[in-house]
Amino acid sequence: MHKHHSALGLATAPTGTTGAVVAKLRPVQPVTLLRPHAARRAARFFVEKFPGRPMYAVKANPSPELIALLWESGVTHFDVASIAEVRLVAGIVPEATLCFMHPVKAEEAIAEAYHVHGVRTFSLDTEEELAKIVRATNGARDLTLCVRLRVSSDHSKLSLASKFGVDARDAAPVLLAARQVADTLGVCFHVGSQAMTPAAYTQAMELVRAAIVEAGVTVDVVDVGGGFPSVYPGMEPPSLEAYFAAIHEAFESLPVSYSAELWCEPGRALCAEYASLLVRVEKRRGEELYINDGAYGALFDAAHVGWRFPTELVRESGSDAKDMAFSFYGPTCDDLDHMAGPFMLPADIAAGDYIEIGMLGAYGCAMRTGFNGFTAGESVIVEDEPMASLYRTETEPAVPSNVITL
Ligand SMILES: *Cc1c(COP(=O)(O)O)cnc(C)c1O
């Protein structure tokens, strides 16, 4: 991963770069930097290269602009998990197909989704949930029902293994019951977020095979869920093509592949590069920087699961100082508002400096609260490259254009 310490060319910085934003706004509140071109590139990649249908998992970043942009880029299906997400997406892209993929739903939410918003696809992991869906839809015959299997999260940085999913060896009764009701029957799983190897999917597909063989049912959809990675310091995954190839191969070897559809539900991979955060250093205490956003803002994962994000000093004069490791304190009065990092920044960083924290489009802005009165400032569209990318092609410069020189 490259890291750059931008010198702000006040006169020469093209508009639409991170440096220009600092030069122009000198923002007192954290600024969200949006890169629509990066989200568009990610969407096109999934639409063109995933060997099946990608749907966007809205919880990763529910911003209306992003949802509209993904739709315009060819993403036609959206994975929603709450009735509020159903209403949100239905209001922005009424023609989109919504799939309600939370295995535990309120009956009222199922009813509204089905009767008001035209949702036909639901996931479940018990016969009780199936009964809820049947009641809430008045015994509808046009349902796509996806049975969620529990699979290992061993290859992922964030587990999704304990809360949802029926064990493959206990899945037969649920699969058979859902087959009776469903017009279209699917099997879905989630390997955990930020899966660091394609083997996570290959192994999960073996459980799909075991479950459908044991139950003796035909399934019409195999949905490999989310978990596709992005790039962060210390977490550099293989190429997404390698994931797609492994999934394609595992899918083709299933007994249902001749008739079934393949789906996936990327959240993080579609939006991580979409946004970054510009913060100001308010105080320095040794190796600790007090910045104006934190655990209750866009940095929840940095605080609570020790996630590391790339950082870059944004200063008019740049810096020749060597990098050293810093940790961050957020702006609230809470000791928990602490991000251990390490975040690598020049040793001469001081109060008043700005830092860009990269790769925050997924599970960043989406988690923000207004605790203690600290909220986000503006969102600004920039045209420079995200700090890292899984999508930049060979022909584009290896060094991102947000290195601004005088
Ligand atoms: C969170 C979630 C996703 C998206 O996961 P990522 O790791 O962000 O790709 C997809 N499907 C379901 C059911 C989820 O809960």
Summarize pLDDT for 275-328 with one digit per residue, the tens.
Answer: 999 999 999 999 999 999 999 999 999 999 999 999 999 998 899 999 999 999
Same domain, residue pair 174 and 222: yes
- For residue 159, is pLDDT > 90? no
User: Do 290 and 195 fall into the same domain?
Assistant: no
Domain boundary among 266, 300, 319: 266
CA distance 331 to 308: 19
Domain count for the chain, please give it: 2
pLDDT of residue 403: 34
Q: Is the pLDDT of residue 8 over 50?
A: no
Q: What percent of the chain has pLDDT over 90?
A: 87
Higher pLDDT, 316 or 238: 238
Structure confidence at residue 162 (pLDDT):
87
Whether residue 163 is found in the same domain as residue 221? yes
Contact predicate 195/229, CB 8 Å: yes
Asked which of 138-147, 178-187, 244-253, 394-403 is least confident by mean pLDDT, the reply is 394-403
- Is residue 112 domain-shared with residue 185, that is, in the same domain? yes
Same domain, 323 and 295: yes
Query: Which pair of structure tokens corresponds to residue 104?
Result: 């535990």
- Residue ID of nearest Cα to ligand 1 atom 15: 102
Q: Which residues contact 131 (CB under 8 A, 6 or more apart)?
A: none
Interstrand relation of 354-357 and 311-315 (parallel, antiparallel or unpaired): antiparallel
- Residues 164 and 254 grouped into a single domain: yes
Q: Give me the domain span that covers residue 248.
A: 62-266
Q: Could you tell me where the beta strands, DSSP code E, fall in 26-70?
A: 31-34, 53-57
Find out whether the beta carbon of 226 lies less than 6 Å from any atom of ligand 1: yes
Asked whether residue 202 carries a pLDDT value surpassing 70, the answer given is yes
The CATH number of residue 292's host domain is: 2.40.37.10
pLDDT at 9: 37
More confident of the two residues 332 and 365: 332
Based on the residue annotation, tell me whether 333 is a catalytic residue of this protein: yes
Whole-angstrom distance, CA of residue 284 vs CA of residue 362: 28
| Cβ-based neighbours of 288, under 8 Å, separated by 6 or more | 326, 327, 328, 329
93, 73 contact by CB (below 8 A): no
Tokens of 174: 């649920």
Q: Give per-residue pLDDT as tens, 15-48.
A: 688 999 999 999 999 999 999 999 999 999 999 9
Kindly state whether residue 399 falls inside one of the protein's structural domains. Answer: no
- Among 7-11, 181-185, 265-269, 276-280, the range scoring the smallest mean pLDDT is 7-11
Residue 151, SS3 per DSSP: coil
Using the 3D structure, point to which of 240, 266, 292 is the last residue of a domain: 266
Question: Are 209 and 288 within one domain?
Answer: no
Mean per-residue pLDDT for 162-173? 94
Taking residue 323's Cβ as centre, other Cβ atoms within 10 Å add up to 17
Domain CATH for 257: 3.20.20.10
Report whether residue 228 contacts ligand 1, using a CB cutoff of 6 Å: yes
Residue 4 has pLDDT above 80, yes or no: no
CB atoms within 10 A of CB 266: 29
The pLDDT-based confidence of 335 (bands split at 50, 70, 90) is very high
CB-side neighbour CA atoms (13 Å) of 331? 21
Decide if pLDDT at 405 tops 50: no
Q: Is residue 403 part of a domain?
A: no
Cα-to-centroid distance, 190 and ligand 1 (Å):
7
Name the least confident of 15-19, 163-167, 333-337: 15-19
Q: What is the mean pLDDT of residues 239-267?
A: 97
195 & 107 share domain = yes
Is residue 190 lining ligand 1, measured as CB closer than 6 Å? yes
Average pLDDT, the chain: 92
Cα-Cα-Cα-Cα dihedral sign, residues 119, 120, 121, 123: positive
Model pLDDT, residue 3: 42
User: 257 near 294, Cβ under 8 Å?
Assistant: no
Contact in structure between 326 and 287 (CB atoms under 8 Å): yes
Percent of the chain whose pLDDT exceeds 70:
93
Residue nearest (by alpha carbon) to ligand 1 atom 10: 226
- Cα separation, 307 vs 324, whole angstroms: 18
Catalytic residue, from 188, 264, 333, 365: name it: 333
C-beta 157 within 6 A of ligand 1: no
Q: Does residue 173 share a domain with residue 305?
A: no
Average confidence (pLDDT) over 394-400: 48
* Beta strand ranges found along 232-335 (DSSP E): 261-264, 275-285, 288-291, 311-315, 323-329
What confidence tier does 365 reach under pLDDT thresholds 50, 70, 90? confident
pLDDT band at 380 (very low <50, low <70, confident <90, very high): very high
Using pLDDT thresholds of 50, 70 and 90, give the confidence band for residue 7: very low
pLDDT band of residue 395 (cuts 50, 70, 90) is low
Tens of pLDDT, residue by residue over 81-109, are: 999 999 999 999 999 999 999 999 999 99
Nearest CA owner, ligand 1 atom 13: 101
Across the range 384-397, mean pLDDT stands at 79
